[in-house]
Amino acid sequence: MLSNLLKIIISAAIVDNMVFIRYIALCSYVGVTNSIDASIGMAFAVIFVQTIATAITWIIFHLFMQGLEFLEIIVFIFTIAALVQLVEIYLKKNVPSLYKAMGIYLPLITTNCMILAVTFINIDKNYTFIESLVYALGTSFGYGLALLILAGVRERLRLSNIPKFFKGYPIVFTSMALIAIAFLGFKGLIK
Residue 73 CB, nearest distance to other proteins (Å)? 5
Subset of residues 55 to 74 that bind other proteins, contact rule: CB under 8 A: 70-74
Between the alpha carbon of residue 111 and those of residues 67, 114, 170, the distances in Å are 27, 9, 24
Our finding on whether 21 is near other proteins (CB under 8 A) is yes
Per-residue contact flags (x/-) with other proteins for residues 117 to 146, judged by CB under 8 A? x--xx--x----------------------
Question: Which residues in 148-187 contact other proteins (CB under 8 A)?
Answer: 165-166, 168-174, 176-178, 180-181, 183-184
Least Å from the CB of residue 170 to other proteins? 4
Question: φ, ψ for residue 15 (rounded to 5)?
Answer: -65, -45
Are 4 and 120 contacting, i.e. CB atoms less than 8 angstroms apart?
Answer: no
Helix-, strand-, coil-residue percentages of the chain, each rounded to 5? 80, 0, 20
Burial class (CB in 10 A: 0-12, 13-18, 19+), 156: exposed
Residues that bind other proteins (CB under 8 A): 20-27, 30-31, 70-74, 77-78, 81, 110-113, 116-117, 120-121, 124, 165-166, 168-174, 176-178, 180-181, 183-184
